[in-house]
Amino acid sequence: MSDYHPMWKSLGLDLAAHDAMLQSVGQAYQETFLSQPNRPEGMKYFDFVISEVHGLRIKELLDAKAQGRKVIGSYCTFVPEELILALDGVSVGLCTGGDFALDLVDQVLPRNTCSLIKSAFGFKLGKVCPYIESCDLVVGENTCDGKKKAYEIMRRFIPNLHVIDLPQVKSEAGKGLLLAEYKRFAAKLEELTGRKLELGKLKAAIVTVNAKRAALKRLAALRQADPAPISGLDALLVSQVSFYDDPVRFTGAVSALCDELEKRVAAGQGVFAPKRPRLVISGCPMAFPNWKLPAILESSGAVIVGEESCVGERSTRWLTPENGNSVDEAIAQLVDRYLQIECAVFTPNPTRIEYAEQITRERKADGVVHYSLQFCQPYQMEAGPVVEQLEKDSIPALRIDTDYSREDEGQIRTRVEAFLERLHA
Ligand code: BJ8
């Protein structure tokens, strides 16, 4: 294995802290993923990506930069990857799934901030993220109040920050705002890259991103089978990798995985025995390396067969038309596509519940686990009505509010076990 320390040093990482982080994530990966039974062969690609997530992939980014391409980092599925690709940029999702440098984070953010926002700051302040240090531009978005205000503070540490304003209501006025903001973002990218947004390149980028999402949709649909051909943990990992990897290479790897899973389904093979309690997760995104709740659910005897989440099907279920006749029309089609995302920051947000119910029925799931991060107002507020509606529609639902610490793992496990008993009763 190559020694990447000189590369990390050149990016200004705190090498000791970074080594410690890699070791702890590597150990968690070993315990959570590599110990699973009956994993598909196709997961080897994703294991490799994770093993090189701070190595080879960062080298690829730096090589791309040396060739004049720009690296754009983002935190939300509302940031249109298509515009970045169309201007020959490299799009990367930035890590927000683990607690790092909390002592430094607590000096700049209130304690009652969600773990995801704290994590974004922890990776930056702790100097442990080679992605953020490779970025030519970091893109934020005005979604929840926490993020909105946090980006004001983040600008102190990341001057190359562009914030996209987002509507809160899916109205015509809201659509107009998003259109204006996507055009402003495109102009920012043009300025950064020195290139002009062209229709041909934009359509090609839309085709590339659609292909990636279509491959992920195919993977999601294969999870309808009983026994499930892939664990929820592995499916989540694939979603997490989708934010880092080269999109064309990633699509090829997911397609190969799906070919294998189709054969498994035809042969009646699964990762676990059939008739295991089947669950859908609905709620906050689970960004890399947040595996806490799925690990508890699957080690307690369940199998996760769907995620109504931005690291999951909320960000992949909609494709964009590929037939725009002008740059303006293609951007308007992107706006229509993105505005369908059922993020809890929108008011009202009824289609989120509808979709959670839809995938629960399609996947023949026995229940839904609603997952909110503590101090996440949008998802914690929606948790009550979502759980209530699911129960009313005869879908058992469990509400879990947690964070990235390990302190409540025992308590969550006890509640999950009681829920699984209820499903069996
Ligand atoms: S489109 S879900 S990725 S905003 S957990 S920071 S909401 S307080 S992450 Fe999200 Fe985009 Fe919406 Fe998806 Fe705020 Fe809640 Fe924290 Fe959150």
Among 309, 376, 382, which is best to mutate for testing ligand 1, by the most ligand atoms less than 8 A from CB? Answer: 376
Q: Which atom of ligand 1 is nearest to the CA of 75?
A: 3
DSSP state of 280: E
Under a CB-based contact definition with an 8 Å cutoff, are residues 106 and 81 in contact? Answer: no
Q: Reply yes or no: is the peptide bond before residue 289 cis, omega within 30 of 0.
A: yes
> How far is residue 92's CA from residue 242's CA, in Å, rounded to a whole number?
9
Please name the amino acid found at residue 414.
T
The atom of ligand 1 lying closest to the CA of 345 is 12
**Closest atom of ligand 1 relative to the 150 alpha carbon:** 6
Q: Which helix (H) or strand (E) holds 282?
A: strand 278-283
Dist. CA 285 → ligand 1 center (Å) = 7
Distance 47 CA to ligand 1 centre (A): 27
Looking at residue 1, its pLDDT comes to 63
Task: Tell me which residue has its CA closest to atom 12 in ligand 1.
Answer: 343
- Residue whose Cα lies nearest atom 8 of ligand 1: it is 376
Question: For residue 339, how far is its CA from the centre of ligand 1 (angstroms)?
Answer: 15
DSSP H or E stretch at residue 306: strand 303-308
**DSSP codes joined into one string, 93-161:** EPP-SS---HHHHHHHS-SSS-HHHHHHHHHHHTT--HHHHH-SEEEEEE-SHHHHHHHHHHHHH-SSE
pLDDT tens for the 425 residues of the chain, in order: 689 999 999 999 999 999 999 999 999 999 999 999 999 999 999 999 999 999 999 999 999 999 999 999 999 999 999 999 999 999 999 989 999 999 999 999 999 999 999 999 999 999 999 999 999 999 999 999 999 999 999 999 999 999 999 999 999 999 999 999 999 999 999 999 999 999 999 999 999 999 999 999 999 999 999 999 999 999 999 999 999 999 999 999 999 999 999 999 999 999 999 989 999 999 999 999 999 999 999 999 999 999 999 999 999 999 999 999 999 999 999 999 999 999 999 999 999 999 999 999 999 999 999 999 999 999 999 999 999 999 999 999 999 999 999 999 999 999 999 999 999 87
- Best residue for ligand 1 mutational test, from 114, 163, 166, 346 (most atoms within 8 Å of Cβ): 114
> Of all protein residues, whose CA lies closest to atom 14 belonging to ligand 1?
144
User: Distance (Å, rounded) from C-alpha 258 to C-alpha 350?
Assistant: 31
Q: How far apart are CA 348 and CA 294, in angstroms?
A: 28
* Ligand 1 center–CA 144 separation, angstroms: 7
Question: Which residue, by CA, sits nearest to atom 4 of ligand 1?
Answer: 143
Residue 153 contacts residue 106 (beta carbons within 8 Å): no
Give the integer Cα–Cα distance in Å for 64 and 49: 18
Are 229 and 40 within 8 A, CB to CB?
yes
Q: Is 237 helix (H, G, I), strand (E, B) or coil?
A: helix
How many angstroms separate the alpha carbon of residue 284 from the centre of ligand 1? 6
Which tens digits make up the pLDDT trace of 76-126? 999 999 999 999 999 999 989 999 999 999 999 999 999 999 999 999 999
Distance 275 CA to ligand 1 centre (A): 33
Nearest CA to ligand 1 atom 13: 310
- Cα 145 to ligand 1 centroid, rounded to whole Å: 10
Summarised one tens digit per residue, pLDDT across range 167-180 is 999 999 999 999 99
Instruction: Count Cα atoms within 13 angstroms, Cβ side, for 305.
Output: 32
Ligand 1 centre and the CA of 143: distance in Å?
7
Instruction: Give the sheet arrangement for strand 90-93, strand by strand.
Output: 90-93, 71-74, 137-142, 161-165
DSSP string, 179-193: HHHHHHHHHHHHHHH
Q: Determine whether 98 is exposed, middle or buried from the number of CB atoms within 10 Å of its CB (0-12, 13-18, 19+).
A: buried
Cα 425 to middle of ligand 1, angstroms: 35
For residue 115, the ligand 1 atom closest to its alpha carbon is 16
> Across-strand partners of 92?
73
Query: Which candidate, 102, 108, 149, places its Cα nearest to that of 123?
Result: 102
CA of 402 to the centre of ligand 1 (A): 15
Could you report the per-residue pLDDT of 178-194, keeping only the tens digit for each? 999 999 999 999 999 99
Protein residues with CB under 6 Å of any ligand 1 atom = 76-78, 114, 116-117, 143-144, 146-147, 284-285, 310, 341, 343, 345, 373, 376, 378-379
Compute CA 304 distance to the chain's CA centroid, rounded to the nearest angstrom. Answer: 16
Q: Could you tell me if 78 and 143 are in contact, meaning their C-beta atoms sit under 8 angstroms apart?
A: yes
- Phi/psi region, residue 416 (left: phi>0; alpha: psi -120 to 50; beta: rest), is alpha
3-class secondary-structure state, position 165: strand
Q: What is the pLDDT of residue 133?
A: 98
List, in order, residues 6 or more apart from 204 with CB less than 8 Å away. 85, 86
| Residue 364 contacts residue 276 (beta carbons within 8 Å) | no
| Total H helices, total E strands in the chain | 18, 8
pLDDT the model gives residue 2:
85
E strand or H helix at 397, and its extent? strand 397-402
